Amino acid sequence: MGHHNIRYVGDPNADSGFWGTPTSVANFCEEDYAVTSYIAEFINTLTNLSYIYYAFRYAKSANPTAPWYRKIDFMAFSLICVGVTSAMFHGTMHQVPQLMDDLSMLLLAGALLQPIYALNQTPFRRVLVALTLIFGIGTVSVIYARSGRIVIHMWTFITLLTFIWPRTLYLVRKTGYSGAQKRVLMRSFARAGWALLAGYALWNVDLELCLGLRALRDKVGMPFSWGLELHGWWHFLTALGASHYIRLVRMLTGEEPIKVTPEDEAAVKAHRQEKEARHKR
């Protein structure tokens, strides 16, 4: 069964919560209103604070003396939107907040895409990139909001991600960075990728093995069972990965410095010497 079709409903307290019976197309493995009658999915709601935390924790650092609101660029703002709308969705499990949550993910993807495709382009092409993203994401958002078909959101998000990472690697390898700078940039790329892939893996496990996870949670009891709410870990890890990627994009676009350490310089030098030694053999 496709993940967009998996929906866990009929929990014992689902109809007695403050927000009423869940109406969202998606409903995850955490039991509805199991902790409090005011929050539908307790852990899945609270873990959305990760997005907001990382947006502020790793705001633009180019000007440390600037007030906080000037450090929140559009990428960080989009990450905050993901946290707020996702918390609204998981807190209520209603369809409108779910649509807002899904659309905020497209907003974040667009915020990451625009600067890396506009980099080193003429003013006309930069405007063209922005207008293309606005029109494309806006059109899909309207279609998705009117139809409610989550598969539209899923494939749009995957498509946007597929445009992000190859362009990132191209910029790292083809833009004239030193070996040490490339090492720093690739380390950020690897950290972001690891966190996002790990989060995606846990998201899949939470969906596919829900019944087993629920049985295990019942055995260990609260609060220890909260650690087995894997969708919450998806929130934390994707927030971490997105924050790494935002900083990577800022370094690529020159909004933040690429901080090369002596260890980076030494590692690149050692690699170069090893490569030269192999050629001499």
Between the alpha carbon of residue 63 and those of residues 2, 57, 112, 252, 255, the distances in Å are: 46, 14, 21, 17, 10
231 annotated as ligand-binding: yes
Any residues with CB less than 8 A from the CB of 230 and at least 6 apart, and which?
Answer: 29, 202, 203, 205, 206, 213
Between the alpha carbon of residue 31 and those of residues 2, 50, 119, 169, the distances in Å are: 21, 21, 45, 40
The residue assigned the tokens 């409610």 is 148
What tokens appear for 197 in the block?
């892939």
Cα 35 from chain centroid (whole Å): 26
Q: Give dist(CA 230, CA 212) in Å, integer.
A: 12
Candidates 36, 46, 31, 33; CA nearest to 211 is 31
265 annotated as ligand-binding: no
Any residues with CB less than 8 A from the CB of 64 and at least 6 apart, and which?
Answer: none
235 annotated as ligand-binding: yes
Q: Report the interhelical angle of 262-280 vs 179-208 (nearest 10°).
A: 100
Q: Give dist(CA 133, CA 145) in Å, integer.
A: 18
Cβ atoms 41, 17 nearer than 8 A: no
Residue ranges of the annotated binding site for Ca(2+) are 30, 41
Q: Please state the residue numbers annotated as binding site.
A: 30, 41, 90, 231, 235
Binding site as annotated, residues for Zn(2+)? 90, 231, 235
